[in-house]
Structure 1
Amino acid sequence: MSPNLPRLTRQQAITALADGVQADVRDSAEVLALLERQFEAALRHRSSELAGLAELLTPLLDAMEARRQQRVSLVRALLGPEATMAQFIGTLPGPARDALASAWGDLERTVRACKEASTRNGTLLAEQYTVMQRVLHGEEGIYAPR
């Protein structure tokens, strides 16, 4: 195992990987729901709600990142420095492989949806900011003679 990880047996590492993926499936679904709420709050210009949602998102995203780092370390400790999660899943026996592959697929789909929602939200907020800047400061040259 890696020097940064506690000494785990192979079975403990496998269990930690499976549990981490399940936790990420759960948390990513919550992140997606919060991103939908964020979009609605942005549409309605509810800045205090946006701030509250950011406070809810941050610990979820931090926990998911920590689990991702652990997952990379564990997979590499088990299979080598270039190993991937797909390769790890392929080493598992039938039922465990199928269960983890299914959870991993769910996680990948939800993370893609989160990325799309995050991009959409960021685009909306950037557009709103641009509009507010125009309202507050006008556009340069808008009243310049032609």
Structure 2
Amino acid sequence: MKRGEAIARLLRDLISDVADYGALRLLLDSQFDAALRHDAATLRDLATRISDAVQALDARRLLRARLVTGLYGSDGRMEQVFAELPEDNRERCRAMWSGLQARVADCKRLNARNCLLMTDQYEIMQRVLHGEDQTYAPT
């Protein structure tokens, strides 16, 4: 892939990632709501959709890493891509990159929240079904 094509691909994928992390956030919020309602059918559907979204995002992340490494070496960074852009596009892309990083962090936080909720629900259900091991332990 030529240099210009690689940079164009990086920028297209950046735009796609911003949109797709927004969609992933909505899925994670829906997952949380479904977990609160104990809606197993919706949780199964959302798990598939979340997994598909994460796979697409990860594939673009891996491609981005390969392209940046190919353009700038092993220490390459997206900032180097932005530095090559015309000034009017440079700041817009930097802002988009910063926004993407914030969306990634937000999705990681929501995923951890959902995981904690579902883990807690599972542990409670196990105690309800099987009792607690130490309920009647001698003192």
Give the TM-score of the pair, scaled to structure 2.
0.94
Q: Does 1:61 align with 2:43?
A: no
Structure 1 pair 10–132 and aligned structure 2 pair: CA distance change class (3 A): same
Q: Which residue of structure 1 lines up, in the alignment, with residue 101 of structure 2?
A: 108
**Structure 2, unaligned stretches of length 5 or more?**
none
Local SS of the residue matching 1:83: coil
User: What does residue range 1-146 of structure 1 map to in structure 2 within 5 Å?
Assistant: 8-146=1-139
The RMSD of aligned alpha carbons is 1.1
Distance 1:77 1:142 in 2: 60
Distance 2:92 2:13 in 1: 13
The number of equivalent residue pairs is: 139
Query: Deviation at 1:93?
Result: 2.7
Letter in 2 for 1:90: A
Identity %: 39
Distance 2:21 2:30 in 1: 14
Distance 1:80 1:144 in 2: 62
| Kept in 1: contact 2:34–2:43 (CA 8 A) | yes
| Kept in 1: contact 2:7–2:81 (CA 8 A) | no
